A = this chain, B = another copy of it.
């Protein structure tokens, strides 16, 4: 292991999809809760940003408006979100998480985190710290810089 960018890229390409699959499978397996990853992320975003507009959710998720609209339809259909008009600008929509949504979200988050934490409990604390450090690095590389482009209006 020489630490070249190409080597690291190759590893990411191999490992990230596999870990992602685990996360997806675990979320889907939580019987009766059954959130997909996009559903979870949308719900979590609206939970953190009460009254968020559809566009805000779409921006956050990196999806188009129609895709986001349908995703939200499903969450509303399952009684996890509500959609109201925004009286200030009636083109806009105000999304909120229902009580049921909050419950499901917290169970799902806890369930998936517990599952991952259990797997991560098998390695040493030092190794976990290294993983944390690397996640911070990846966050810096893949998430933070994009925010610069996203400062809209």
Please name all residues of chain B whose beta carbon is closer than 8 Å to the beta carbon of A133 when the two chains form the complex. 1, 130, 134
Question: What 1/0 flags go to A128-149 for Cβ under 8 Å of B?
Answer: 1111111111111111000000
Complex Cα gap A122–B131 (Å):
19
Q: How far is the CB of A131 from chain B (nearest CB, A)?
A: 5
1-50 of chain A: CB within 8 A of chain B: 1, 3-23, 25, 37, 41
Partner of A127, one of B112, B113, B137: B137
Q: For A27, give the chain B residue with the smallest CB separation.
A: B13
Q: Interface residues of A: mostly helix, strand, loop or mixed?
A: helix
Query: Is the CB–CB distance between B142 and A9 below 8 Å?
Result: no
Interface size on A, residues (CB 8 A): 58
Please name all residues of chain B whose beta carbon is closer than 8 Å to the beta carbon of A123 when the two chains form the complex. 137, 140-141
Q: How far is the CB of A134 from chain B (nearest CB, A)?
A: 4
Chain A contact residues, CB within 8 Å of chain B: 1, 3-23, 25, 37, 41, 62, 109, 112-123, 125-143
